[in-house]
Amino acid sequence: MTLKKTNFGKIKYRGRFAPSPSGELHFGSLLAAMASYADARHFNGQWLLRIDDIDQARVVADSDQHILSTLEQCGFEWDESVSYQSQNLKHYKMALKELHQLTVTYLCSCSRKQIQAALENSHIKNGIYPGTCRHKTSQADHQQNRDHAIRLKVSADEVCFVDLIQGEYSQNLQQDIGDFIIYRKDQVFSYQLSVVIDDFQSQITHIVRGYDLLDSTPRQIYLQQLLGYPVAQYAHIPLAVTEENLKLSKLSQAKKVDCNLETLVQAARFLGQNTLDTKDFDNKSDFWQYLVTNWDINKVPRMEKQMIMV
Ligand SMILES: [Zn+2]
């Protein structure tokens, strides 16, 4: 698939940070916030905040407020008002309708067990949907079919892009991913679909985020192409892992970020930036000014993960 030329009109740079409100802001998410913020501000761009609360079952009450206040204490300053995925449902519905009209969607009633059984009798890679329901119906009307998921037909073309940190990346969606779910059986729009629409709605030009989302990017670019959206510029920073190789998340009991200068300097160093010592900064705004001025995305390590002491 050849990429359409990015066309955002007169918009120069609009970046964003989009945490899910499923707990406190930990060091891993601070890194994504810092990298996206510093890159945007370095290029005099705007930086927006979005709360990715599409999966309401995972939302922890008030954690959005905790995240916002932690970001504020850290010294982040965002443009415009904070947006919430849960308030954008009508746009997701419209996009789903557009995809139906392109006849690239179909209903899928397969259970995990059925998919596993179908894979055992085939040469398809494990974890890839074998396409069982692909030919059942060409149109997927979720209003009338509430016990089905909706899948998107993927093409056999290679999706390629150049990541600002990780370099060239490509995926053959048919071989590597398979037809993927855009609307779940439990009536929730998928992460892949919602994020593409949100970024388009907010006219986001640059997406800087964690390495764990690198392999989602070709699916998102494929959706952008289908919907006729401009393709954003992506950059994926290494994940912070503990000594035991655990990702910093609630699962590895990552602590809530302590918003002091030391933590900020530690995060900037993790991102490969040559910052001064904590003692060389008078305060946090002094630190931010230094980081934004001297930010260089080329210095961010081209790695999947990097160990951090917490
Ligand atoms: Zn199916």
Q: Measured between alpha carbons, how far is 37 from 48 in angstroms, rounded to an integer?
A: 9
Distance from residue 110's CA to the centre of ligand 1 (Å): 4
SS3 for 17?
strand
Closest CA to 199 of 174, 219, 224: 224
Distance from residue 57's CA to the centre of ligand 1 (Å): 24
75-111 residue pLDDT tens: 999 999 999 999 999 999 999 999 999 999 999 999 8
CB-CB contact of 177 with 130 (8 Å): no
Distance from residue 128's CA to the centre of ligand 1 (Å): 12
In order of start, what are the domains of the chain with their CATH numbers? 14-307 (3.40.50.620)
Phi-psi region of 62 (alpha: psi -120 to 50; beta: other; left: phi over 0): left
Distance from residue 109's CA to the centre of ligand 1 (Å): 5
Distance from residue 213's CA to the centre of ligand 1 (Å): 25
What is the pLDDT tens value at each position of the chain, 310 positions in all?
Answer: 444 445 566 679 999 999 999 999 999 999 999 999 999 999 999 999 999 999 999 999 999 999 999 999 999 999 999 999 999 999 999 999 999 999 999 999 998 888 888 888 787 777 789 899 998 754 555 555 568 999 999 999 999 999 999 999 999 999 999 999 999 999 999 999 999 999 999 999 999 999 999 999 999 999 999 999 999 999 999 999 877 777 766 455 567 888 899 999 999 999 999 877 889 999 999 999 999 999 999 999 999 988 886 5
pTM above 0.85, yes or no: yes
State both tokens at 120.
């055992």
